[in-house]
Structure 1
């Protein structure tokens, strides 16, 4: 590996993802990065930026852990990202999601969730449809706040990028 690749590898394997409770392996038995992370090494500068954005979205935004995982899983379900769905369902289960809730997310049905989480899911679904119309924007802004809507836009964009990357590089399990 080049120096840039080594630095990125260490950011992923020794940074916040590695420090948090592990619900899926970051590396395989040979030390290779799993999921989207191995492909980050193809362009270390872009990979480093993506890694930093992903880390920020996972560990530093205002969404509750449950709301964040609901949002990630909604993107994974819509875009059929198996790796993201499997890895984040493991995280969601550790946060107390039950099987009925996971099935509901796969169907983009937010009726099982409390009003806040439901609004998160509805907002993500509208973003995946291309935009927030005036009614969605008003409801999201009132319920979640403009800052959280901004963070959800970044989250949807990031996990959509990963889903596309996983498909193109045939890394999705």
Structure 2
């Protein structure tokens, strides 16, 4: 990483509040597909850089929390979108975390391999296939034409399409941050 880890022993009060979000609760519950805290108590992934600016870090974690724990899109569909973004940016940490989350959501090794090649895995539901096609189009063009919008809104609903565009945008931003600060998966991965 291009910046020094923030030592939990020297954190400000605001940093400690953000840190506590990642070291307690649902993110560290048994069975969580990945962790954002190493065995020494240091943050991994996006929180490892967000901790340097707790005002932005708290806002970003709220969006991340909504994406991971509040989305109405099924977990498999959500992970398909996130993995496509991760592969689009060749984001090692996103792929490390979300290949695990995708497997926990029911994506098989064959599904993960197909997504790595931007191919449609066999047996996707109509919603999952729509998420895949729409995500690829957003990544390639930055938008949807009228027909693509109508097709996605019909399948996902307008609220679902808003969620999908938020997920794609959020994970694009995360991939850029991870690349700029050179945040990598844990060595044990």
Give the shorter-chain TM-score range. over 0.9
Task: Report SS of the residue matched to 2:183.
Answer: coil
Written as runs of structure 1 = structure 2, the 5 A alignment for 1:8-19 is: 8-19=18-29
Alignment-derived partner of residue 151 in structure 2: 139
The one of 60, 64, 72 equivalent to 1:54 is 64
Unpaired segments ≥5 residues, structure 2: 1-10
- The CA RMSD measured in Å over matched residues stands at 1.3
Distance 1:100 1:45 in 2: 40
Matching residue of 1:33: 43
**Quick check: 1:116 aligned with 2:127?**
yes
The residue that corresponds to 2:167 in the other structure is 155
Which stretch of the first structure deviates more once superposed, 13-22 or 130-139?
Answer: 13-22
Deviations 1:8-52 (A, max 9, x none): 000122143223632222211221100111101111000000001
Q: Distance in 1 between the 2:114 and 2:181 partners?
A: 29
> Are the equivalent residues in 2 in contact too, given 1:16–1:55 (CA < 8 A)?
no
Aligned residue number for residue 89 of structure 1: 99
Shift of 1:111: 5.0
Query: TM-score, normalised on structure 1?
Result: 0.94
Unaligned segments of structure 1, at least 5 residues = none
Contact 2:34 2:97 in 1 (8 A): yes
Distance 1:20 1:127 in 2: 35
Count, aligned residues: 173
In structure 1, what is the Cα distance between the partners aligned to 2:184 and 2:44? 10
TM normalised by structure 2 equals: 0.87
Cα distance in 2 for partners of 1:111, 1:83 equals: 22
SS in 1 for 2:130: helix
Q: 1:125: which partner in 2?
A: 136
Q: Is the radius of gyration larger for structure 1 or structure 2?
A: 2
- CA separation in 1, counterparts of 2:12 and 2:156? 43
Q: Distance in 1 between matches of 2:166 and 2:27?
A: 18
SS at match of 1:145: helix
What SS does structure 1 have at the residue aligned with 2:56?
helix
**TM-aligned CA deviation for residue 61 of structure 1:** 1.2
Other-structure match for 2:83: 73
Partner-residue secondary structure (3-state), 2:161? helix
